Amino acid sequence: MEYLKKTYRWFGPDFGVTLDDIRQLGAQGVVTACHSIPTGEVWSEQAIAGIKNEIERHGMEWSVVESVNIHNAIKYGLPERDVYIENYIQTLRNLAKHNINIICYNFMPLIDWTRTNLDYQ
């Protein structure tokens, strides 16, 4: 049976929060992504393995991917969307080969997470 795990979001080594910092908080897992790979490109098995191994060297697991960004060509249904759909599928396959099976996704076009007035009180 799978139980809840304490996980934290990590934006990569250049963000200023280290995996040691996250581990000190008692985290069992990390939520992260291949931040250096441009949207729409395939996440290679080597890139995935590198991040996963780094996390595991710190005594945690890569629990969740947030996120494999969706290329705007898919969101808008542009003619080149099929190439990006195939890249997305291959990325999911590569993640699965490393037993990373929980993927968050975001289909919001252009502005990503902003949904409402940021000045609303």
Report pLDDT digits (tens) over 78-116. Answer: 999 999 999 999 999 999 999 999 998 776 666 555 656
- Expressed as residue numbers, the domain containing 14 is 7-97
Identify whether the C-beta of residue 10 lies closer than 8 Å to the C-beta of residue 17: yes
Task: List, in sequence order, the alpha helices (H) in 25-80.
Answer: 45-57, 72-75
The whole-number pLDDT of residue 13 equals: 85
pLDDT over threshold 70, residue 33? yes
Identify whether the C-beta of residue 47 lies closer than 8 Å to the C-beta of residue 34: yes
Please count the structural domains in the chain. Answer: 1
Identify whether the C-beta of residue 29 lies closer than 8 Å to the C-beta of residue 62: yes
The whole-number pLDDT of residue 1 equals: 59
Q: Is residue 56 part of a domain?
A: yes
Q: Is residue 109 part of a domain?
A: no
Q: Which residue type sits at 1?
A: M
pLDDT range class, residue 64, cuts 50, 70, 90 = very high
Average pLDDT across the chain, whole number: 90
Gap between the Cα atoms of 52 and 46, Å rounded: 10
Q: Is residue 67 part of a domain?
A: yes
